[in-house]
Amino acid sequence: MAIERTIKVRVVYALPARQYVEEVSVPVGSTVRDAIEASTLLHRFSDIDLARNRVGVYSRLIELDAIAGDGDRIEIYRSLIADPKDVRRQRAKAGVKRSGVKKSRR
């Protein structure tokens, strides 16, 4: 009888107020998608769409078909609500209007 070797990974999904972490065991050779599907996060959060949401391992973007490694922290990233560049531009405009003086760059 052959014993199937497994690895342990953590699947993480962070919301503004709380981070959800699940440790799952998957067979050696499993993909990142397999590990995410082995967690309950897809069932718990209907806003996760693997066709849309990006994923990473330790803050490094990775494809869903990449092979998961033992001890990986697989992170499911939420979609951005606003473009960070647009937000910075709006803040800069608001700062100019409030003070009337442009801030100098140092």
CATH number of domain containing 13: 3.10.20.30
pLDDT in tens, 55-83: 999 999 999 999 999 999 999 998 766 66
Whole-angstrom distance, CA of residue 65 vs CA of residue 2:
26
Whole-angstrom distance, CA of residue 106 vs CA of residue 91:
18
pTM: 0.73
92 or 15, which is more confident: 15
Does residue 37 sit within a domain? yes
What is the three-class DSSP state of 35?
helix
Range of the domain at 91: 6-99
Question: Is 28's pLDDT higher than 50?
Answer: yes
Question: Is 25's pLDDT higher than 80?
Answer: yes
Band of residue 44 on the pLDDT scale cut at 50, 70, 90: very high
Does residue 81 sit within a domain? yes
| H or E stretch covering 99 | helix 84-99
Work out whether the CA dihedral 42, 43, 44, 49 comes out positive or negative.
Answer: positive
Structurally, how many domains does the chain consist of?
Answer: 1
Does residue 105 sit within a domain? no
pLDDT reported for residue 98: 46
Does residue 104 sit within a domain? no
Does residue 29 sit within a domain? yes
Does residue 106 sit within a domain? no
pLDDT reported for residue 75: 98
Band of residue 90 on the pLDDT scale cut at 50, 70, 90: confident
